Amino acid sequence: MATQDRSAARRAAWPITRRTLLVLIGIAFVSGSAWLGFITSERRGIAELRTDSNHRLDLFSSAVQGVIKRLEYVPATVQLNQNILGLLGHPDEARRLTVGNDYLRRLNAHLGSIAVFVVNDRGVVLASSNAEKEDDSLLGTDLSFRPYFLEALSGRVGRHFAIGINGGEPGYFVSHPIRDGARVVGVATIKIGLEPIERIWDMLGARALLADTNQVVILSSEPEWRYTALAELPLERRVDLQLTRMYNNRRVARFPLHVQPSHDDDGQIVPGEQHADGLLSAPSRDAGMLVLSRTLDGMDWRVTTFSDLAAVRGQSIVSGAMSAVAASFVVLLALFLAQNRRIQRQKHGARLLLERANAELEKNVASRTSDLTDANLRLRKEIAERERAEQTLRDAQGELVHTAKMAILGQLATGITHELTQPLGAIRTLSGNASEFLRRGDLHALEGNLGIIARMADQMGGIIQPLKGFARKSRPVPERVDVAHAVSNALFLYESRLRHESAEILNRCTPGKVHAWCDANRLEQVLINLIGNAIDAMESSAHKQLTLDAMVEFDADREDLPERVRIEVLDTGIGLDEETRRHLFEPFFTTKPSGVGLGLGLAISRDIVREFRGDIEAFDRPAGGARFCLYLPTGPESIADDS
């Protein structure tokens, strides 16, 4: 009986299973047909686009090489002119300079280049084709840091892209050594304009860019791509570009797409989409571009094109759809009929599933609400504990700062005592004299003595008042502080010691000129630490000179950085070696003898300055001694801009 029931069940389930298999086979057939049509059309379209783009790349590369290489021989011919050789041997003769400038001007006018100029072996321009242009004359310009000059000076031909120093116009520089016998006495350089390349972008039929040997985009059909890096530049390379000013200190941002185009004819396909306002990375799953690249022979430049695949993929989609239309019509008709029969059964099943899902959802919501409530309570406790820990840390930091101030006052106690002893002795003597004058009835002399005693008391008050303000224990309150006033108060505390050390003080801080946003008391403490360290460093120096300066600096090439105040403390002491600079701001690191210092002064000073969104840097002076630079914001608005 049981066997018959199982057989009946199998017979009843067979029609359903068969229909399901037929539907799956139909779907698989339609999907396979569409995919095969899509893939075939896409591969054919990409192959045609690749062939056309490679042909355009070859033509464009030849055109670029023709623009550049037709003038590469010119610097080698400059040394054939005897006036140029004579000018390098006698740079002070006005006649030779005039003749040399005129020769270069005529040569440049004939060639159609931007400029032709001659540089001596020290990197200074002696003659130039644009000597008569007041706004773009190169005469006297120091180009010793340019790579093309250094390569030519070493006897090689230099080829580099760079942005002009004066006019800011980009160009391709080709340099050649000028020899007097076997010795290189100068360098001849031509600056080739890149404007002809800008006029032939349409030859490529797609968005394109031209990158130099640093993988930095120097020319592009899209202006917003210029001076972006195709690959992340290492720190050493960024520093080298800053020193050589290849891009005139322009900020080199990252290229918006991650591309690693190969140098063969296949290129690569990257996700991306082109819009009217530029290039966006991977905006949709269907977007993509064909990236092809060519390296220009002898120039280390690479031209890269970005061909949009939207048209190719659109055509591929149409082909795939057309391939599946016939099969899908029959399959969809069968599925429609089968689906119509299953609608009623599915409605009932869907209703049951919905009720079950609602019940489970309500259960999950209640459980989740309980979990969120517990998590919220734990989070509040953690926030309260963290606030208590931060308050404890601020209190400990304040105690440490106050202890450091007391330590500084202890070190200055001897000099302060000496400053107070003299007026106290004078007051004692004058008070005795006043008593005698009173006994004699000499009121005029008595009045004079009392006036002197009053002045002595004011003098002692002038010594004690800054100490009271410095020793006061208070929380830092940022305000607009006159830097010159803070420097004057710091110097006052070391006045006696500086006189004793016979140190020369150059205080270039002018009252009312430079203001910083910080706490005046804390700023004085930092300056006292820096000045005290400078005096200690000059203890064994024959010439002791302490220089203090303050200024407001602003980098015009970095508009993203706000204004800031820079305070410099320079000494003529023993200086700072590399090992000392590396550990200088570490707690408990000191170069003083054992028992003299704890090594906390600079660490505390840096913490104080950073609390006001500033910083401290230390440098070794080439002429001897050390230079400490203290950076502070100019106001609360500069802090907001910096954040």
Band the pLDDT of 480: cuts 50, 70, 90.
very high
- pLDDT of the residue at 631: 93
Q: What is the Cα–Cα distance from 584 to 577, expressed in whole angstroms?
A: 10
Going by pLDDT thresholds of 50, 70 and 90, the confidence category of residue 285 is: very low
**pLDDT of 283 above 50:** no
Q: Which residue has the higher pLDDT, 364 or 402?
A: 364
Q: How confident is the model at residue 551 (pLDDT cuts 50, 70, 90)?
A: very high
Mean pLDDT along residues 78-83: 82
d(C-alpha 86, C-alpha 591), whole Å: 56
What's the pLDDT at 280?
A: 46
Question: CA 573 to CA 494: how far, in whole Å?
Answer: 17
Query: Band of the pLDDT at 462, cuts 50, 70, 90?
Result: low
Res. 272 pLDDT band, cuts 50 70 90: low
For 94-109, write each residue's pLDDT tens digit.
788 888 888 888 888 8
Whole-number pLDDT of residue 477: 81
Cα separation of 77 and 108, whole Å? 13
Q: How far apart are CA 590 and CA 36, in angstroms?
A: 75
Partner residues linked to 189 by β-bridges: 117, 175
pLDDT at 599: 61
What pLDDT does residue 91 have? 79
| β-pairing verdict for 217-220 and 170-180 | unpaired
Instruction: Name the segment(s) of the chain with CATH classification 3.30.565.10.
Output: 476-642
Residue 118 has pLDDT above 70, yes or no: yes
180-184 contacts at long range (C-beta below 8 A, 24 or more positions apart): 180/85, 180/88, 180/89, 184/121, 184/152, 184/153, 184/154, 184/155
Which range has highest mean pLDDT (214-223, 471-480, 633-642)? 214-223
Architecture of domain 74-193: 2-Layer Sandwich (3.30)
Q: What percent of the chain has pLDDT over 70?
A: 77
For the stretch 8-57, pLDDT in tens is: 666 666 777 777 787 778 788 778 888 888 788 878 878 887 788 788 87
Residue 79 backbone dihedrals phi, psi, to 5 degrees: -70, -10
Pairing of strands 183-192, 170-180: antiparallel
**pLDDT tens digit string along 342-360?**
787 778 877 888 888 888 8
Identify residue 55 by its one-letter amino acid code.
Answer: H
More confident residue, 469 or 38: 38
For the record, the structure tokens of 472 come out as 């006061």
Mean pLDDT value across residues 274-296: 60
Query: Three-state DSSP class for 91?
Result: coil
C-alpha torsion sign, points 362, 363, 368, 369: positive
State the pLDDT confidence band at 281, using cuts at 50, 70 and 90: very low
Residue 276: per-residue pLDDT: 45
Give the pLDDT confidence score for residue 316 in this predicted structure.
Answer: 77
Q: Which two tokens stand for residue 591?
A: 């170069």
pLDDT higher than threshold 70 for residue 565: yes
Statement: the pTM of the whole predicted model exceeds 0.85? no
pLDDT band of residue 508 (cuts 50, 70, 90) is very high
- The number of beta carbons lying within 10 Å of the beta carbon of residue 304 is 22
572 pLDDT higher than 80: yes
| pLDDT at residue 126, rounded to an integer | 86
Phi, psi of 170 (to 5 degrees): -70, 155
Position 460 pLDDT exceeds 70: no
The C-alpha atoms of residue 548 and residue 483 are separated, in whole angstroms, by 11
pLDDT digits (tens, 9 = 90+) for 142-164: 888 888 888 888 888 888 888 87
Predicted local confidence at residue 284, as pLDDT: 43
Name the token pair of 281: 């990375």
Q: Which helix (H) or strand (E) holds 407?
A: helix 310-411
- Predicted confidence at residue 11, as pLDDT, reads 66
Least confident range of 250-264, 322-336, 416-430: 416-430
CATH superfamily of 476-642: Histidine kinase-like ATPase, C-terminal domain (3.30.565.10)
Amino acid present at 580: T
Q: Give CATH 3.30.450.20 domain extents, the chain.
A: 74-193
Task: Tell whether the model's pLDDT for residue 292 goes beyond 90.
Answer: no
**Mean of pLDDT values over 479-495:** 88
Question: Which residue would you say has higher pLDDT here, 167 or 323?
Answer: 323
Rg (CA), the chain: 40
